[in-house]
Chain A
Amino acid sequence: DTAVSQTPKYLVTQMGNDKSIKCEQNLGHDTMYWYKQDSKKFLKIMFSYNNKELIINETVPNRFSPKSPDKAHLNLHINSLELGDSAVYFCASSPSPSTSGTQHFGDGTRLSIL
C-alpha cells in the first residue's frame, strides 16, 4: 500500500493554464506538506496543513492555492501556469507538526510547462 500517493505522476501543459495536483495519505497523519524541487534539485517547502488548517505558508506566488478537504488529503491548485513553475512537486505527511522531522514523502508530480 502506498503511504503517500500523488496524482498525476506527470503533468505536461501549456503556459497560462490552470492545473491541480492531488495528494492522499493513508497513514492517519494530521500534518501534510507541499514541497517544490526545481531543476537544480533544491527542495523547498511551500505549504503545510495540520488537520485541514494552514500552518506554514512560505513566500509562494498567490497563483498557488492549497486545499485540504480533510486531513488525509492536500491538493495543490496552480493558476496561470508560468515557465518557472516547471518542477517536481512533492507531497509529504507527518503525525503532527511537532514530529515534522520525520516525514513520509510521495514520489512526486513532474510538472512541465510548454
Chain B
Amino acid sequence: DAKTTQPTSMDCAEGRAANLPCNHSTISGNEYVYWYRQIHSQGPQYIIHGLKNNETNEMASLIITEDRKSSTLILPHATLRDTAVYYCIVRGGGTDKLIFGTGTRLQVFP
C-alpha cells in the first residue's frame, strides 16, 4: 500500500506556482520522498527526490518539513504542459520498490 496521502485534484493558473502537498506521516528515517508525474498517454516521469533537505532541479523544488511528515512539490511557473497526475512516493533505501498511489491530478488552465 502507498504510504502517502495526496489531494485528488488541484487547479493552477498558467504562469503561477503550483504547490502540490503530500502527507507521509509514517515515514521512517531512511525513507526518501520521490515525485513522479504522468502526462496523459505517457509513462511516468521522474521529477525529484529528497531525504530531509530541500531540493531543487530544473523541473521543480521539493520542500520537506522538518519533522519529515509532509512535503510540497513546487512547480514555480506552471505551464499547460504541466497538466498531469503527480505521484508522491515514499521509498526506503536499498532495493525497495516504487509503490504508486492515486496521485494528484493537476490541471493548469490558461
Contact = CB atoms under 8 A, between A and B. Distances in A.
A23 to B, nearest CB: 11
Main secondary structure of the interface of B (DSSP, over half): loop
A16 B106 CA distance: 39
Interface stretch (B14-22, B40-48, B61-69, B74-82): B40-48
Interface in B50-101: 85, 89, 91, 93-100
B46 A100 contact: no
Nearest to A96: B95
A98 B93 CA distance: 7
A102 interface: yes
Contact of B100 (A4, A44, A108): A44
Nearest to B44: A105
A56 interface: yes
A101 B95 contact: no
Contacts of B34: 101-102
Contact of A42 (B89, B96, B102): B102
B95 A43 contact: no
A98 B41 contact: no
A93 B89 CA distance: 17
Given A42-B100, A43-B100, A107 B41 contact: yes
Interface string B30-45: 0010100010011111
